[in-house]
Structure 1
Amino acid sequence: MEVTVQIPDTIHQRLGKASDEIPRWLLEKAGLEAYRSRELSGYELRLLLGMTSRIELDAFLKKHGVYLEHNDEDFAHDAETSRYLKRQSTPSE
């Protein structure tokens, strides 16, 4: 889904960001707020921001002063990933 947001020039200048940086900046801010308010899980935030690992998410949250909170969905996804990787590393008989 694509969303268009109009930002007044005075606010754009105040943000001190290049025009091409604003969409990602807004996406990260919205994702952080949704995570803080528990509207998004850590896994969903990773999907939203296109991150491939929880380590990457941990670093992102730490950079923004947000602590990682895990829920059942996160643990279930990690367990499934672990099972998948175990199956991949076990030689076929």
Structure 2
Amino acid sequence: MQITVEIPDEIAERLNQVWGSLSRRLLETVVADAYRCGEISTAEVGQILQLPSRLETHAFLKRMGVYLNYDEAELEQDLQTLKKFRAQ
């Protein structure tokens, strides 16, 4: 999907100078907010932004000031995995 945003040229040029690609910055902002609201997953963040790894996705979210959606069930699963590896 392609979305058009109207911004006065002089402001868009100034923002492009500060941020680099204004369109990329807008995409990143929308994606970070969608993740923050629980509308998309970590994997979808990486897919939309074409990030090469989960670590890159986590780094992106950290840069954007977004905490990972990590609940108690995921913590328990990680603890069980850790116990399994320690037992080996």
Scaled by the length of structure 2, the TM-score of the pair is 0.65
Displacement of 1:66 in angstroms is: 1.2
| 2:66 partner letter | V
Tell me the equivalent position of 1:30. 30
Percent of residue pairs bearing the same amino acid type: 44
The answer as to whether partners of 1:42 and 1:70 remain within 8 angstroms in 2 is no
Matches of 1:4 and 1:41, distance apart in 2: 25
Q: Kindly state the Cα deviation for residue 52 of structure 1 after the two structures are TM-superposed.
A: 2.1
Distance (whole Å) between structure 2 residues aligned to residue 39 and residue 66 of structure 1: 13
Aligned residues: 71
Partners of 1:11 and 1:34 lie apart in 2 by 25
Instruction: In structure 1, give the amino acid aligned to 2:26.
Output: L
Give structure 1 stretches of 5+ with no counterpart: 76-93
Counterpart mapping for 1:33-72 below 5 A: 33-70=33-70
CA contact (8 A) 1:61 1:67 kept: yes
Residue in structure 2 matched with residue 8 of structure 1 by the alignment: 8
User: CA RMSD of the aligned region, Å?
Assistant: 2.5
